[in-house]
Copies of this chain bind each other. A is one copy, B any other.
Amino acid sequence: MNDAGPKLFQRVAHETMSGQVYEEIRRVIMGGLLEPGSVVSIRGLADQLGTSMMPVRDALRRLLSERILEMDGPRRFRLKALSKSEFKEILSLRESLEGALVEQAVAKISAADIEKLSELQDGMEHSVESMESFLKLNQEFHFIIYAAANRPVTLNLIESLWLQVGPMLNYYIVRNGGQIAVHHHRTLIDALQRRDAFDARAAILADLRDAAKVILDEADVW
């Protein structure tokens, strides 16, 4: 037998309706399609998604504990709108955590992953069909690097921060016509190929700050 061998099989997916509903709601929110501060209702979403209240309820409560939604009032879900100081705090945390993981990833990332990064970057620069898919490519780009660092708990914290800041950040990116610079990605890929941790970290920080600028400069919008 070969039952004890490591990572031959990966677990089969038991997709539940709750999970699918969660993914779909999250897709819309992270795509910047829902204005921060909007109220959402279980029944309303259930109608649009064609399910009963139950999976939607599970999904909303999950988004609640992930701090994407908040409850203001006894029975009222609302898409959280970050304050400026919260936004800055998250930016600072992201710089620290994502910077650290990039440094760790430099020594571990595979050539295949770097090649994948290059392909994703090509996609973002040339053949991007929609804003949503662009944002998705960008996210995938970043998390390939973070995942290579092999720090699952840190990775999870970073995901949590992306989830918290994504709804607001992406909403304003989409609203402003979607111009977001990704030229730091090229220097980042180059640094990874040269196994240069210092340059790689600097490139990530520059990328984060440039993206954050999109809404930090527009003080009037919030």
Contacts and interface: CB of A to CB of B under 8 A. Distances in A.
A164 interface: yes
Given A61-B61, A61-B62, A62-B65, A89 B160 contact: no
A74 interface: yes
Task: Give the copy number.
Answer: 2
Contact of A65 (B65, B74, B154, B157): B65
Contact of A157 (B58, B62, B151, B157): B157
A72 to B, nearest CB: 9
Nearest to A157: B157
Name the interface size band of chain A.
20 to 34
Interface string A70-92: 00001000000000001001100
Given A66-B65, A74-B14, A89 B153 contact: yes
A86 B160 contact: no
Contact of A154 (B66, B93, B152): B93
Given A61-B61, A65-B66, A86 B164 contact: no
In the complex, the 7 A-B pairs of residues with the closest C-beta atoms, listed nearest first: A14-B74, A89-B153, A62-B65, A65-B65, A90-B153, A89-B151, A157-B157
